[in-house]
Structure 1
């Protein structure tokens, strides 16, 4: 049964299916069937594809089916939660910057809306638009991979315990059920606590801090790209005395207000007119590069080792072999970590996705730094294409017949936001397929626990 409430849908059957979960983890199924992809059709504006980690999901490329002599026999989905409200510290900073502007007279016409702007966003939680993103992703997953599903083999779904992640997983399962006309109703089977070992979160390494504040490279870049904007804002609101940090947080109001209300914010028009978003995009690239990406040395990618070893276990139908971030109690129990399934769906955060990409060897980028954006356009490291809200990686296991040019056997293909990834680290062929055996061998960093790097997490 589907109930319509204020333009959103609640799938009662899904709510009942999750009633056994602790109340704090009950998904709020604020979902509806979207009629189009707002980001693709430009409702949020063309610059909405360069908002870094706050970019609404969009398909980077059209989906390409495997070669005709090959068939997908297993899918592994790792997906970020949908669009959320700002976290606690950014919320305070945004309110502070707005207050500085609203206590003075604004004379610049493009800034007039700020005088009457009311900041009323929640903190940290999934937005209604974010719920829709996950719901639609579930529909898409069913439409693309329905041939892998039957009543005895539904997607096995896990989520990290953050409320917005749990809700995203619940909305995805609801979308999957909707796509199948309620023929198949997968449920969220495992919630992994973020208070302990969790392969779907990046907080298992004590040596890395989890701060919402910009790091050294990001802070330095703010002082490179925002001064002219800060001057413009201060000239249009004399006496506001904004600094560059204030400007950074004001820019962030654009994506956050947009995804909160599902319509383009006036903040976006203000900053778009000043041509700031390409440089704001680079801020996001630096942020993730130095958080859990290549720029964090080896401790960043080490956060992805646990998930990679779980992925290898699923691809090879063998027990998990890992001594890093896995929860061994869960992974050793076939009820909470089954093998021989055809569809796995895991829900996570953007920092963990970045760590997994880096641990696997995707998006190799030797250096990013705040002094120059000269290599930006050709760089593989584009966070808005890697981890947008509801961003996802799909690893397909593919069985090919002897008619396939590269030979009969099992292969692996990796897609990030639908774009098929080349895998030079495992000699992928012209179709970007890598033999399963070669793929497993290529993941020596994960299989060897980062060659001792993980031990530094507790030093």
Structure 2
């Protein structure tokens, strides 16, 4: 017992000598947190309506695996954050008008008590469907920032002077995003370097399009009736009505007010509508967005998979041709509903079973907030890799979705869970669908995607005033 006391006294003397002010010995701070209380972020439940956020991946480094270097980059990018289009705007306006009419003779209380001080952020109808220019999540800022980030990441693939083609579908906000990205990537010489190619959003483009149209009907009989199926919307309406006797919100109004939160955040730093609804209600809203993409423009619709096969097959050809023959940088810009078909065609985020429409499952992998928020992007990296103990020297492919590396489930044995180009070619050819056969493309329309190889080398479309114009020569291929 005496020995133990002496040891304790000795430790006290040592601690006091080393730390004369009586502080405790400073234990090293842990590197990682061991606490995960939840996995909730409202942005992830906005689907494709709200601001950009990085995708959730598997912890794989965004940088190339050791011994590998990226020699070709092919990107498909959605336009940046925007104001709602006409249809969504009218839906929002109808719900807001109902609250305004109630407030004329009453005071909104409870979760809606902020409404009298809230300012409807769309002050001019000319803003509808346009890129946002205000707030930390502004669409044009997003495009420019992404360009600067990619310039830093892939600057070795451009010599600072060689002209580079870029491709945009023919919609104003998409062209604006493409321009801002180009300005961020290529800097002040953007208009001297970039050959902007604007591909018409026209069914007559056939297969030679960034926005291919399927002349066959949608194969899914679920699409179009998915926005209000979750019971939580009715529960939310009942709660808000109870807080304000005489108010008559319904599930359609609740859906509109929830989508208001997403779109307001595209232009403002903050939206009070986020706090109106519970986590359960936001999770349900997010699932309705997943259902819409899945059944209308994703793996739940065979026509969409066929449409996505066009771009997927073109990128496969570019990667097999390699940077020496095909070029090193391919930047393309389109809508969200043109990216989800490509993801379906290459087999990313595809559930093993169709998503149920009568309940919310918790074991599915199709979360639209991870792959098509505003500013969402899919990147193919072609890599040349040295031989390692585990892999042969060769060319490999990996996909990056919103800065998260997403391996191909059936082909991920390469460096950093990549896929060898030869195996990827085999893998993809087994999945691609014949667009012309499935979609019954009229014989008078282009039957192939050719603009990656037959593009206009002019900068006259880098900036335009007035109505959007196109490279007419591309429509005749």
TM-score range, shorter chain: 0.7 to 0.9
CA distance 1:216–1:384, change in 2 (3 Å): same
Contact 1:445–1:451 (CA<8 Å) still a contact in 2? no
Q: Larger C-alpha radius of gyration, 1 or 2?
A: 2
> 2:132 aligned with 1:127, yes or no?
yes
User: What residue in structure 2 maps to residue 139 of structure 1?
Assistant: 148
Write the distance in 2 (CA, Å) between the matches of 1:255 and 1:183. 32
Identify the residue that residue 241 of structure 2 maps to in structure 1: 234
Q: Is the 8 A contact 2:215 2:440 kept in 1?
A: no
- Quote the residue 1:449 is aligned against: 434
Aligned-CA RMSD value: 2.8
Aligned to 1:415: 400
Does the 8 A contact of 1:155 with 1:345 survive in 2?
Answer: no
- 1:22-101 correspondence to structure 2 within 5 Å: 46-60=41-55, 63-101=61-99
Aligned partners of 1:183, 1:203: CA distance in 2, in Å?
28
- Residue 307 of structure 1 corresponds to 311
1:106 and 1:283 mapped to 2: Cα distance? Answer: 32
Instruction: Identify the residue that residue 352 of structure 1 maps to in structure 2.
Output: 338
1:269 partnered with 2:275: yes
1:149 and 1:172 mapped to 2: Cα distance?
A: 15
Compared CA separation, residues 404 and 138, structure 1 to 2 (3 A): farther
Q: 5+ unaligned residues in a row in structure 2: which ranges? A: 1-39, 444-477
For 2:81 and 2:389, locate their aligned partners in 1 and report how far apart those are by CA, in whole Å.
41
What's the CA shift for 1:256? 0.7
> What is the CA–CA distance in structure 2 between the aligned matches of 1:99 and 1:237, rounded to whole Å?
16
Paired with 1:372 and 1:65, the residues of 2 have a C-alpha distance of: 39
Normalised to the residue count of structure 2, the TM-score between the two structures is 0.74
Shift of 1:76: 0.6
In the alignment, structure 1 residue 390 sits paired with structure 2 residue 390: no
Could you tell me which residue of structure 2 aligns to residue 10 of structure 1? none
Q: CA deviation at 1:255?
A: 1.2
Paired residue secondary structure (1:189)? strand
Asked if structure 1 preserves the Cα contact closer than 8 Å seen for 2:82 and 2:266, the reply is yes
- How far apart are 1:81 and its partner, in Å? 0.7
TM superposition shift of 1:277:
1.4
Counterpart Cα distance in 2 of 1:170 and 1:255: 25
Alignment partners' CA distance in 1, 2:217 and 2:333: 22
Deviations 1:274-311 (A, max 9, x none): 64211111111111001111112x11211212111221
CA distance in 2, matches of 1:450, 1:304: 8
For residues 54-85 of structure 1, the C-alpha deviation after alignment (integer angstroms, 9 at most, x for no partner) is 23222235753222222111011111110111
TM-score, L = length of structure 1: 0.76
The answer to whether the Cα contact below 8 Å between 2:398 and 2:406 also exists between their aligned partners in 1 is yes
Match 1:245 to one of 243, 252, 257:
252
What is the match of residue 170 of structure 2? 161
Q: Secondary structure of the residue that 1:317 maps to in structure 2?
A: helix
- Give the match for residue 111 of structure 1: 112
In structure 1, the residue matched to 2:348 is 362
Unaligned runs of 5+ in 1: 1-44, 319-337
Q: CA deviation at 1:200?
A: 5.8
With over 3 angstroms needed to count, the CA separation of the structure-2 counterparts of 1:457 and 1:384, relative to structure 1, is: farther
| 1: CA distance, partners of 2:132 / 2:195 | 20
